[in-house]
Structure 1
Amino acid sequence: MEPFSINDNTQLLSVFGFPEYNNFLEEVPFTNKPATLIGFTVSFLALSWIFVLLRLYVRFKVVRMPGWDDLFVMLYLLFTSVSSIAFLLAIKYGSGRHFLLLTLGEVRNYLVLFYVLNFSLNFAATFIKLSQLFQFLRLFDKGSWAYRASVIGIVVISAWGIAYTLLSLFPCASIPDAWNVLARDAKCWAYASQNPDEFVATIVSHNILNTIFDIYIIAIPFQLYSKSGLSLKTRLGLLVLLLMGATVVTLSGWRVYETIYFKAGWYPTRDPTWYGPKSILLIVLEINVASICVSVPIFWPVISPYLGAIFVTHEFSVNYEEHSSSRDRGVNDHYKDSFIMDLVDPLGSSTNRYIRSREKEKWEKSLRDLKDMKDETAV
């Protein structure tokens, strides 16, 4: 009898045998079908690119004041694109199919792509949260609880992102062991651990913390909705943005449930390529929707100048009549207003003071002219 030969075309089933729980006859889930994975991933990635590019156009071309939040959103866009491409390529090598029915060559390629996908998603999830928090630093006054909460969030989320990203970048003492299913005595941990409890704990803890941070970020600007003096349009705009944030939290919470229920692909049997696609798809959608949330307030005044920016405080409703009094103002002039600069200025109080001094002179002149016109009318 010839010895059993193992090569890239060898099916894992012939190496490891049948599992105790045979799930081969399970109906293919909707989220395991290539058309579903490709359709949702490509569509939401395209939307993310459109919204982020609109945001960057406003910051770089209209107000010419890019900031830290723009840097982080660009880094997000880079890594979410890498993760989405890796996710799409993984379909060819087994994503959505049963793990044991794959060949060794397919599994190796899948695990390499999962490695790229995993650290890219960790980067993307961290950067999009940091972008939102740095954006909050422009919105809220220094010393306010919302400003301090944003600073605390930046510190904590940075530590979270660094910790889990390092675990995803260095999952084994020898990194190639992470995609070698036949490796013996491999020293791996966290995302590449062969201990199901350790592997599941890593995935679940990351997902739960991710959801907690999403809720934390959404809660910070919620105070604006309850402020007195908000116009109806501003209040509705803020409500829409909060609902979009709630969508992010919903997707995040759903992913936590899926991860816990299927034990990150280890329950009811170890089959990560069969039970994992839904969780991965959910985080891809989550961070893409989050990018829309952080981009809409920046370019909204350009496409809808009469509605004002979504993230405008009560100053908008108080000053709206004054800002609307000059019908001949262009888009660029619109973005020189002090209340818009509070939203988009990354340089802080020094630039704001300069803009406001110019605006103060202009509006004082406008008010004097308006008063003269009223006096003439009265006469």
Structure 2
Amino acid sequence: MAALPSKEQIAYMIAHSDESLVPNIIICVSICGIASIVFILLRLYSQYLVSHKFRLTQSDILLLIAWVFYVVYSIGLGMITKYGGGRHVIMVTDMRLLNIWKIIDEVSYTASLGFLKLGIIRLYGSIFRSRTFHRFLWVFALLIIAFHIAISIVNILECIPIQYYWDVTISVGYCLNYGLFMLLVGIINVIIDFILVFCPIPMVLRLHTSKQKKRLLIFTFCMGGSACIVSIVRLAFSLDFDATGDPSYDNIRLSLLSLIELVAGILDTSIPTYWPLFRHITAICSPSLINSSANIDSKDSKWNSGGSIRTSPQITADVSSGQLESNISGINVTTHVELARYTNMGGNWIRVPDDIHKGWK
């Protein structure tokens, strides 16, 4: 619960009544909203390059649920501006509705963050086939679910009764130190983020592939840690949240950081699925690679949202035209003969490089 403003604070608010963070809110919500849609569309298109059809995996569904809660959070940020959010507290027109939307934002932020983490865990489970690693992911997922449910309950019951949050005339009421609570939750979230970033690295190191490819895979997963940076920056504002005499103005910076954190989380969840898209763009930018037999076509890539290589490859002989040793009428003889492995993914037979196939166990 916010503290009552002092006389000096009230005098400052009156002298700076024209100050407003509403434009900041509108710009941030607009840019982040567009970015979130682009990240998701790129993910779905990258998956289309693999299977040549649009389909949603479990990881995709969890991401879309997280995005729905993200949209609710964005709407809530927009709605608080209607009642004085983004301006000094003396300009607030409806404290009750302002705080109701604030509670909705807190719950939707927590839910979105939780589903993003579950989406990453499900993606890891579809990529790595180790049973031990799967058991770890299941336990970790259950802990995350319990953690975020507990946070949501505290968000709703921050003040008891709830009306005490905006009506200080109620004689019997209590509010917890929400700034301290957010700081503790933020620290735990940062720890969880680091675990999610680094837990697949031991699995990558076990792959039977070149060191260069291992470094590339590790770099891909570490790129998914951008939300960690935002979470750490967000910690610096946590203690002051709801602890000042001007919450409708001072809380906005933390709210905008939370919005950016969710968008970064959407990007983090999608980065490991962009590999087919990266290969596709590389092939377009370097047409000579398309004609090379060593090049892996983007649709043959392992990296897709939720796909996994099956353990029953088919061996086929891929014969392509090359320099002819002889030219008998009706018969062409070539020295270009290549053995290739193929796997069935979504009803499509897709070529798998030998080193990658041996590594995914």
% identical aligned pairs = 18
| Residue 75, structure 1, aligned to residue 65, structure 2 | yes
After TM superposition, the structure 1 = structure 2 runs for residues 314-353 of structure 1, keeping only pairs within 5 Å, are 325=293, 334=299, 337=300, 340=302, 343-345=304-306, 352-353=310-311
Deviation at 1:215, TM superposition (A): 1.4
Q: Which of 138, 151, 163 lines up with 2:150 in the alignment?
A: 163
* Equivalent in the alignment of 2:167: 181
More strand as a share of residues: 2
Asked if 2 retains the 8 angstrom alpha-carbon contact of 1:130 and 1:154, the reply is yes
Q: Alpha carbons of 1:301 and 1:291: their partners in 2 closer, same or farther (altered >3 Å)?
A: same
After TM superposition, the structure 1 = structure 2 runs for residues 31-70 of structure 1, keeping only pairs within 5 Å, are 33-59=21-47, 62=52, 64-70=54-60
Q: Alpha carbons of 1:244 and 1:32: their partners in 2 closer, same or farther (altered >3 Å)?
A: farther
Alpha-carbon distance between aligned partners in 1 of 2:294 and 2:264, rounded to the nearest angstrom: 36
Asked if 2 retains the 8 angstrom alpha-carbon contact of 1:112 and 1:179, the reply is no
* Equivalent in the alignment of 2:117: 129
Asked if 2 retains the 8 angstrom alpha-carbon contact of 1:150 and 1:220, the reply is no
Asked if 2 retains the 8 angstrom alpha-carbon contact of 1:251 and 1:286, the reply is yes
Q: Alpha carbons of 1:373 and 1:166: their partners in 2 closer, same or farther (altered >3 Å)?
A: farther
Alpha-carbon distance between aligned partners in 1 of 2:138 and 2:36, rounded to the nearest angstrom: 26
Q: Which amino acid aligns with 1:305?
A: H
Q: Alpha carbons of 1:377 and 1:119: their partners in 2 closer, same or farther (altered >3 Å)?
A: closer
More helix as a share of residues: 1
| Secondary structure at 1:365 match in 2 | strand
Alpha-carbon distance between aligned partners in 1 of 2:5 and 2:247, rounded to the nearest angstrom: 15
Deviation at 1:206, TM superposition (A): 1.9
Q: Which amino acid aligns with 2:153?
A: L
* Equivalent in the alignment of 1:201: 180
Asked if 2 retains the 8 angstrom alpha-carbon contact of 1:122 and 1:165, the reply is yes
| Residue 292, structure 1, aligned to residue 267, structure 2 | yes
| Residue 273, structure 1, aligned to residue 233, structure 2 | no
| Residue 154, structure 1, aligned to residue 131, structure 2 | no
Deviation at 1:307, TM superposition (A): 5.2
Q: Which amino acid aligns with 2:142?
A: V
Deviation at 1:282, TM superposition (A): 0.9
Alpha-carbon distance between aligned partners in 2 of 1:223 and 1:365, rounded to the nearest angstrom: 34
Alpha-carbon distance between aligned partners in 1 of 2:116 and 2:266, rounded to the nearest angstrom: 6
Alpha-carbon distance between aligned partners in 2 of 1:365 and 1:236, rounded to the nearest angstrom: 29
Alpha-carbon distance between aligned partners in 2 of 1:279 and 1:54, rounded to the nearest angstrom: 28
TM-score (norm 2): 0.72
Alpha-carbon distance between aligned partners in 1 of 2:235 and 2:5, rounded to the nearest angstrom: 29
| Residue 365, structure 1, aligned to residue 285, structure 2 | no
* Equivalent in the alignment of 1:11: none
Asked if 2 retains the 8 angstrom alpha-carbon contact of 1:210 and 1:252, the reply is yes
Structure 1 unaligned residues grouped into runs of 5+ = 1-15, 309-320
| Residue 19, structure 1, aligned to residue 9, structure 2 | no
| Secondary structure at 1:293 match in 2 | helix
Asked if 2 retains the 8 angstrom alpha-carbon contact of 1:65 and 1:345, the reply is no
Alpha-carbon distance between aligned partners in 2 of 1:95 and 1:58, rounded to the nearest angstrom: 39
Deviation at 1:82, TM superposition (A): 0.8
Q: Which amino acid aligns with 2:170?
A: R
Alpha-carbon distance between aligned partners in 1 of 2:274 and 2:254, rounded to the nearest angstrom: 31
* Equivalent in the alignment of 1:315: none
* Equivalent in the alignment of 1:9: none
Q: What are the Cα deviations for residues 139-192 of structure 1, in whole angstroms up to 9, with x where unaligned?
A: 2222354x44433321211111111122334555665x165324514656xxxx
Q: Which of 102, 105, 109 lines up with 2:91 in the alignment?
A: 102
Q: Alpha carbons of 1:184 and 1:178: their partners in 2 closer, same or farther (altered >3 Å)?
A: closer
TM-score (norm 1): 0.69
Greater shift, 163-172 or 291-300, is seen at 163-172
Deviation at 1:279, TM superposition (A): 1.1
Deviation at 1:286, TM superposition (A): 0.8
* Equivalent in the alignment of 2:222: 242
Q: Alpha carbons of 1:144 and 1:65: their partners in 2 closer, same or farther (altered >3 Å)?
A: farther
- Paired residue total: 316
Alpha-carbon distance between aligned partners in 2 of 1:62 and 1:25, rounded to the nearest angstrom: 61
* Equivalent in the alignment of 2:330: none
Alpha-carbon distance between aligned partners in 2 of 1:24 and 1:235, rounded to the nearest angstrom: 58
Q: What are the Cα deviations for residues 294-342 of structure 1, in whole angstroms up to 9, with x where unaligned?
A: 123324413542659xxxxxxxxxxxx9996298x986xx2xx4x52x7
* Equivalent in the alignment of 2:107: 119
Deviation at 1:242, TM superposition (A): 1.8
RMSD, aligned α-carbons: 3.9
Asked if 2 retains the 8 angstrom alpha-carbon contact of 1:32 and 1:278, the reply is no
| Secondary structure at 2:170 match in 1 | coil
Asked if 1 retains the 8 angstrom alpha-carbon contact of 2:5 and 2:245, the reply is no
Alpha-carbon distance between aligned partners in 1 of 2:306 and 2:107, rounded to the nearest angstrom: 32
| Secondary structure at 2:12 match in 1 | coil
Deviation at 1:239, TM superposition (A): 2.4
Asked if 2 retains the 8 angstrom alpha-carbon contact of 1:119 and 1:165, the reply is yes
Q: What are the Cα deviations for residues 204-262 of structure 1, in whole angstroms up to 9, with x where unaligned?
A: 222222111111111123447767844757745752652451x31111011112113x2
